[in-house]
Amino acid sequence: MESKRQQKFAGILQEELAAIFQREGAGYLPNTLVTITKVRVSPDLAVAKVYLSFLNTNNTSLSVAEVNSHASEIRYKLGARIRHQARVVPTLTFFVDDTNEYVQHMDKIFDQISKDRKETNEEAD
């Protein structure tokens, strides 16, 4: 469980990273909308795991690899934005947030289950 301090710092990072991607995201991934869905921070606030969601991209793993290749540049820009709020600028690692894909997959499974139940109920009648 994250402490209040970690949660507050993660919120600041998420807000500032969103602004960076909104202004300069086209330089990293042209024609792709990047959303920061979640930020997890280590207890010492030195490492941040940033979860991204992509819109209008075919290969999310390639997109996250491209963002990770610019991680030091993004960290520098983040440092310029939070220099008065944080003592240390955390090391950034970007990951794909596949929550939406998981939800869609589970919805398909539940739809199939309910469809199968209806079919077995109709056969029983």
Whether 11 is covered by a domain: the verdict is yes
**Is the pLDDT at 81 greater than 90, yes or no?**
yes
Asked whether residue 121 is domain-assigned, the answer is no
Give the burial string for 80-104 (b: 16+ CB within 10 Å, else e).
Answer: ebbeeebeebbebebebbeeeeeee
H or E stretch including 36?
Answer: strand 33-41
Q: Which residue has the higher pLDDT, 120 or 86?
A: 86
Strand, coil or helix: 89: coil
User: Tell me, what's the pLDDT at 7?
Assistant: 95
Structural contact between residues 2 and 10, judged by C-beta atoms closer than 8 angstroms: yes
Q: pLDDT at position 124, please?
A: 67
- The pLDDT score that the predictor gives to residue 11 is 95
* Residue 31, in any domain of the structure: yes
Total number of domains in the chain: 1
Question: Tell me: the pLDDT tens digits for 35-47?
Answer: 899 999 999 999 9
| pLDDT classification of 31: cutoffs 50, 70, 90 | confident
Report which of residues 113 and 13 the model is more confident about: 13
Query: In DSSP terms, which residues pair with 95 in a beta bridge?
Result: 51
Residue 39 has a pLDDT of 96
Measured CA to CA, the distance from residue 5 to residue 88 in angstroms comes to 14
Whether residue 124 lies inside any domain: the answer is no
Average pLDDT, the chain: 89
| Residue 86 confidence (pLDDT) above 80 | yes
| 110/125 Cα distance (integer angstroms) | 23
In a domain, 110, yes or no: no
- Could you tell me the residue range of the domain that residue 37 belongs to? 4-98
CATH for 88: 3.30.300.20
The amino acid sitting at 42 is S
